[in-house]
Amino acid sequence: MDFQAIANAFTSHYYRIFENPEARLSLSSLYRPESMLVWEGSQYKGTENILVALNKTELKTVKTHVSSKDATPSVEGGVLVSTTSDLVVMLANEHDKPMKFSMTFLLQPIPGQSGGYFIYSQIFRLVI
């Protein structure tokens, strides 16, 4: 398994969709009922609850820039991915100042789908 290639492909795909508010609901294909998101200390379990959290009004229009990405293999064929990025939230046609954040993903293989992964766990935290 080329865990770095998996991490690169995944983060590129995830952030591209996350930045597009019209497409963000399609992130549902990356989650399963057992998936968990911790967003600034608040926990969300399951695809539907995670999508509600990711589609908050204050996140309507965002841009991200990944400044670092690290990956390592995990148990049962999983991949642990950690990113440090800048997040810009755009409000009323104005750009807010970039905020540093970290996002960590634990990707697990999709049973019966060769080469497919889903987000088992995800943690978002602003770096203040």
Alpha helices (H) in the chain, listed in sequence order? 3-18, 47-54
User: What digits encode the pLDDT tens for the residues 57-81?
Assistant: 677 788 898 999 999 999 999 999 9
The answer to whether the pTM exceeds 0.75 is: yes
β-bridge pairing 117-126 and 36-39? parallel
- The predicted-structure confidence for 36-56, as pLDDT tens digits, reads as follows 999 999 999 999 999 999 988
27-57 CB burial, b ≥16 within 10 A, e <16: beebbeeebbbbbeeeebeebeebbebbeee
The pLDDT-based confidence of 94 (bands split at 50, 70, 90) is: low
Domains of the chain: 3-126 (3.10.450.50)
Who has greater pLDDT, 89 or 38?
38
